[in-house]
Structure 1
Amino acid sequence: MKNLPQKVRSKKLSSRVDLTAMVSVSFMLIIFFMVIGELSKSKAMDLSLPEKYPTCLGDYSSDCYSGNRLYTVLLGENNKIVTYAGLLYSPIQEPKETNYSKNGFRADLNFVNKRILEYSAATGRPNRGAIVFIKPSNKSNYGNLIDVLEELRLANIDTYAVIDDFTPEETKLLACN
């Protein structure tokens, strides 16, 4: 008998896949999205609201504030600054134009904050200072806002908000003063 050629069997390759690189990429993506998620959370500032009128039409609705702790700063063009204490329709201190000097805005701010601290102590809620609303107009410059924030820091007032909407009356105050 003749020798028949034997079948040549092919060598089977390993079907194992190395996933080390895929695991590394997956962990990098997880870390990336965790960091982005943490950075995209909004940062909120606590703002203590003013006291309510005890006898404001018999209810304690949210729009019934006395305004005794409120102080508003309006920033206009050409370094113009107008301030008033309380609410505009019933101000505790009438609106007045002042300047950024030591005897101007700083003295007025310290006087108003001292008055508000005395009021808070008299009503049984000590150490509740002024709530300052800073309203820069479209024509005011960034340096004026920084100057006001620096004065607030020097006066130890840490409850403030920068608001960009003006009432028509406040717009008239900046225009006529």
Structure 2
Amino acid sequence: MQNLPQKIRSKKLNSRVDLTAMVSVSFLLIIFFMVVGELSKPQAMDLSLPEKYVDDEWSHFISCGSGSNERTITVLLDENNKIITYTGFLFNPLKDPKEINYGKDGIRKELFSQKKTILEYSAALGKPKNGPIVIIKPSKKSNFKNLIDILDEMAIVNIDTYAIVNEFTPEESKLLASK
């Protein structure tokens, strides 16, 4: 018999696919999208605004003499990082309006001082937890950063009662124009 050429059998290649690289890429994508999702959430400060007051109720509030005049601090925000503050109501201020800067030696120091004075006054009246009421009035010329800065100061000084009001009295408009 002759040597018949033997059939050459082809080698069977390994049919297993190495998925290690694909698993690594999948985990990296999952981590990436989790981080991006977390970082894209808006950072916001909790803010609850009161309902718009009715003029009759406001005038009653002013005339009732419930100690609110002594507890009220008004902060006017104007252009060029200008802050004007006064204590009480403008027609009968306990402290004359004055211009203050932002920062720890400016508005923060003033708010700490006013808060201490108001808490002592409230404690003398037998209401030790009645802290200051801050009315924040940003003018149309002030920028959004100034409003955020003053809200940060409210949080730092730990003032619980404050409101953002966008209506200026004619006297306050004159005050901003003169300072």
Q: TM-score, normalised by structure 1?
A: 0.65
- Identity over the aligned pairs, expressed in percent? 54
Please tell me the residue identity of whatever aligns with 2:83: I
Find the residue that maps to 1:103 and give its secondary structure: coil
1: distance between equivalents of 2:126 and 2:174?
37
Distance 1:105 1:44 in 2: 22
Matched, 1:129 2:151: no
Residue 128 (structure 1) shift: 1.0
> Residues of 2 paired with 1:136 and 1:87: CA distance?
17
Q: C-alpha displacement at 1:45, in angstroms?
A: 5.2
Output the CA distance in 2 between the equivalents of 1:68 and 1:175.
26
Task: Give the count of matched residue pairs.
Answer: 121
C-alpha separation between the residues in 2 aligned to 1:81 and 1:153? Answer: 18
Change (3 A) 1:95 1:131: same
Match of 1:89 in 2: 91
Output the CA distance in 2 between the equivalents of 1:104 and 1:89. Answer: 24
> SS at the partner of 1:172?
helix
Is it true that 1:139 corresponds to 2:141 in the alignment? yes
CA RMSD of aligned residues (A): 1.6
Larger helix percent: 2
Q: Distance in 1 between matches of 2:110 and 2:61?
A: 29
2:151 corresponds in structure 1 to 149
Off by >4 Å, runs of 4+ in structure 1: 43-46
TM-score (norm 2): 0.64
Measured in 2, the distance between the counterparts of 1:139 and 1:155 equals 26
Deviation track 1:117-165 (CA, whole Å, cap 9, x = no partner) reads 0000000001211000000000100000111111111111010000000
Amino acid at match of 1:86: G
Structure-to-structure mapping, 1:72-87, within 5 angstroms: 72-87=74-89
- Any unmatched runs of 5+ in structure 1? 1-42, 47-60
Q: Distance in 2 between matches of 1:71 and 1:138?
A: 20
- Letter aligned with residue 89 of structure 2: L
In 2, the alpha carbon distance for the partners of 1:173 and 1:88 equals: 10
5+ residue gaps, structure 2: 1-47, 52-59
In the TM superposition, what is the alpha-carbon distance from 1:101 to its structure 2 partner? 2.2
Question: In the alignment, residue 170 of structure 2 is paired with which amino acid?
Answer: P
After TM superposition, the structure 1 = structure 2 runs for residues 1-177 of structure 1, keeping only pairs within 5 Å, are: 62-64=61-63, 65=65, 66=67, 67-177=69-179
Contact 2:50–2:163 (CA under 8 A) maintained in structure 1: no
